[in-house]
Amino acid sequence: MGRQTLVFLLLLASTVYSTASVPPQARSSDQVQVNSPSVRRAEAPAPDATVAELEKRGDTLRAEKAYLDALDYYRSALAKDPGNAKLNNKIGINELQMGRFVEARKNFEVAIKNDRQFADAFNNLGVIYYLQKKYGKAIKNYEQAIKLRQDSGSYYSNLGAAYFSKKEFAKASLAYNEALSIDPDIFERTSHNGVQAQMSSPADRAHFYYVLARLYAKAGITDRSLQYLRRAMEEGYKGIDDVYKDSEFAGMRKDPRFTDLMAARPLAIPE
């Protein structure tokens, strides 16, 4: 997948990671992760199946990336329970995983109409706008999701990504800091599928890595800070000498690993 291909943030992908290492707040199965479309391979939904049975089977098929089949089951369940916001949200996720942005947006909007307190649906609608580079609308929806639920690192990470894409770096840093305080592993799980994968220029990616290095340094997570500093240098970050004046790195400057890294100055890796 090319670097300019639109892909998802971190934190949207809670369903694809092992829940054994993911905090409870990051384990929601109702947040978005994009994967490849599928072909039908499962049996048709049974007419006498209950809503719960149909939904559960749809969840299993979606986890197996059998998206068309999952859609059949979710729609069959929704036909029996038309006002079910949770089902509309899951259909929206399924459509989004198949690359059907328009259909996904409509389902997220219906989910919100049916349940104005549905934080994940607001978050997922924000994802649609983010992917369409409508960052202002994305921010509005992420902020509404956060207003309804403050314990999701994913929401804050998504908000940070939208601000970063608008080059509002101070606001992005604040949002990322909140995400990190809720879930210290959030960027590790999404570093290859998040905002930086959408960036077309090495300069933007380098800046993003430096921001993460600074946040991890502030949190006292030195290993990861050094890791992202190295990545920033490999991407050719021009402001790398700021590590000697940014207060977040004050505690790291006496660390021999920091000294060695800055002395080595890893060369930028060409595109």
For 118-146, write each residue's pLDDT tens digit: 999 999 999 999 999 999 999 999 999 99
Residue 239 lies in a domain: no
Residue 130 lies in a domain: yes
Long-range pairs for 102-111 at CB < 8 Å and ≥24 separation?
104/128, 110/85, 111/85, 111/86
Residue 138 lies in a domain: yes
CB-based contact 180:216 (threshold 8 Å): yes
Position with higher pLDDT, 202 vs 62 = 62
CATH number for 42: 1.25.40.10
- Taking CA atoms, 60 is separated from 20, 30, 75, 102, 243, in Å, by 19, 13, 15, 24, 47
Residue 117 lies in a domain: yes
Q: Which of 168-172, 192-196, 255-259, 266-270 has the lowest mean pLDDT?
A: 192-196
pLDDT > 90: what percent of the chain? 70
Q: Is the pLDDT confidence value at 25 over 60?
A: no
Residue 226 lies in a domain: no
Q: Which residues of 173-196 are buried (b: 16+ CB within 10 A; e: fewer)?
A: bebbbbbbebbebbbbbbbebbbb
Give the residue numbers spanning the domain of 26. Answer: 10-149
Listed residue (96, 176, 82, 98) closest to 129, CA to CA: 96
Residue 46 lies in a domain: yes
Whole-angstrom Cα distance, residue 67 to residue 34?
A: 11
Residue 166 lies in a domain: no
**How many independent structural domains does the chain possess?**
1
| pLDDT at residue number 270 | 55
DSSP-based three-state secondary structure for 218: helix
Residue 156 lies in a domain: no
For 90-105, how does the pLDDT look when each residue is reduced to its tens digit (9 = 90+)? 999 999 999 999 999 9
For 183-199, how does the pLDDT look when each residue is reduced to its tens digit (9 = 90+)? 988 887 764 444 444 55
Q: Is the pLDDT confidence value at 9 over 80?
A: no
